[in-house]
Every structure is written in C-alpha cells, then in structure tokens.
Amino acid sequence: MTVFLQSLINGIISGSYYAVLGIGLTVTWGVLKMINVAHGDFYMLGAYLFYTFSRIAGLPVVPSIIMGVLGVFLVGMLLQRGIIAHALGREAFGNSPFIITLAIGIMLENIAQIIWGENNRGVPYFNETVFEFGGLTMAAQRLIVAAIAFATLIAVMILIKKTRFGWAISATAQDRFSATLMGINTNRIYMVTFGLAVALAAVAGCILAPIYGINPWMGGSVQLKSFVVCIVGGLGSVGGSIVAGILLGIVESFSTQFFGSGWQNVIAYSLVLVMFWVRPEGIFGKKH
C-alpha cells in the first residue's frame, strides 16, 4: 500500500506540471487553430530567464519566477504580432504556422546557446527539506512545484470561465467573425492568448529548473509530453488537458515503479495510440 500511495502522489505531482504545459498548447489550438511546435522552447526560455534573474541578478525566488514568466509572455506576444499573425491572416495559411513556430523554436535554441552557452546551468532548490511520514518520502521542492502548478491551473480556469477577457477568448475560439461583430478585438485576443499560452510553459520551466537543470535543448521532451496531454485530453479542451496531464503523470509514475524507467515513455506514448483507436477526439474532445 505504501508503494502504491508513493507512486500515486509522485504521479499527481508530475501530472500537475504536465497539465500546465498541456493547457498552453491546447489554448493555442482552441483559439488560434494552430499547433505551436516551439512550446517546449518557451519552457526553456522561461528557465533561462529565471536563472538569469535569480543567479546572476541575485533576485529572490518569487520575483525571479514572476520576471521570467512575464519576460516569456512579452516575447510570445511580440512574436505572435510580428510574425505569426501574418501567417494566420492569410486566407489559406496551410502549414505556415507549423513551419514558422518550428523556425522560432530553432531560433530560441540558438539564441540560448549564444547568450548562456551550451553547458548545463543549475539553480538551487527552493527548499531542500525532505518530509517522511507513514513510510512515504516527499521532497519539499516537489510539493512546491505541485502547489504552484495547481495554483496556476486554478487561475487559468478562473480567467477563462469567470472574466470578461476569458469570455472574449471563448467567443473568439468559437467564431472569430461573430466575435468581431460583437466588438471584440480578435487580433488582440490572438496576441494575448498566445502570450499567455507560452507563459504557462515558462511557469513550468521556472519551477522545474532546480530539479532537471537548464540547457538549450531541454524543451524537446517537454514538447512531446505536451502533445500527449493535448491529444489524450482533446485538442481545445482545457479541462481535458488537466485530466490528461494528471493521468499521464500517474501512468508514468506506476510504469517507473513496476516496470523500470526504460518503460516510462513507451507506456506513456502508448496512451496516444490507444486514444486514437478508442476515442480519436480525446477524453473531452467533441466529435465532428
């Protein structure tokens, strides 16, 4: 029972930040109707900005996280308005957003190498305490990660469901033309939504930097896991991404515990194949 509970808790903690990452991708798809293949690189950028503000500038942890996330938010809005918006504005943009975001991702990786170098960077744990109770062991750092991740998920849900801006996002996602007739500035909604989506990736990058370290290529595996969350949860479904993120974390945790770490990704990505076979639209996706 102790092993089961330990694996379950570890899975929920991992799933919390998977959900944060997945929501960023699913919101981008739901509103802008595009896949951002640079999502993992914004995660990387957030981690590097956090490193810069905390280790180089010497700011405390909380202001460093805020500055890192805000920096990625601004970069995302600038890239959307300056580059991506032109592709979305075409009558038939085809694969342009995919190619553009692929180029943006490569650009961000190379900029990171130029500014911070190729060597791994590290930041201290926010708290190095390890708790033990009832045979369970839990590092305070991971509990902090889960707390920030769940707080972020709640904030996103409140923003989308309870605010006028969130209603404008939903209206634009459903029908851009009708939203424009209602007086909504859809171009601004696109820009801010993209900024918020990549800022969510930055949140994960900041809080996970002490655990996994920082390097220019750290976004690759995160990008793939984000895709898994979106596909399993249903593209465009925020609630689905939360459920799928937690599910993915739990599946990975139990896979590692009972089959070894080598099977972790095999079983996790098998979820995608099973979902395509059983329910192609995802857990909360709508049938067309």
Band of residue 94 on the pLDDT scale cut at 50, 70, 90: low
146 located within any domain:
yes
> Rounded distance, CA 109 to CA 121, Å?
14
208 located within any domain:
yes
Mean pLDDT of the chain: 90
Contacts of residue 115, defined as CB under 8 A and 6 or more positions apart, other chains included, come to 48
Are the CB atoms for 124 and 140 separated by under 8 Å? Answer: no
The count of structural domains within the chain is: 1
What is the tens place of the pLDDT at every residue in 123-169?
999 998 998 887 788 899 999 999 999 999 999 999 999 999 999 99
Complete DSSP assignment for 94-147? TTHHHHHHHHHHHHHHHHHHHHH-SS-B----S---EEEETTEEEEHHHHHHHH
Q: Which amino acid is at 152?
A: T
> Rounded distance, CA 286 to CA 109, Å?
35
What is the tens place of the pLDDT at every residue in 251-280?
889 888 887 777 777 877 787 788 778 887
Are the CB atoms for 165 and 220 separated by under 8 Å? Answer: no
Of 97 and 21, more confident:
21
110 located within any domain:
yes
Q: Which domain holds residue 198?
A: 19-218
> Rounded distance, CA 189 to CA 31, Å?
9
What is the tens place of the pLDDT at every residue in 199-210?
999 999 999 999
Return the pLDDT at 54: 96
Question: How many Cβ atoms from other residues are within 10 Å of residue 239's Cβ?
Answer: 15
260 located within any domain:
no
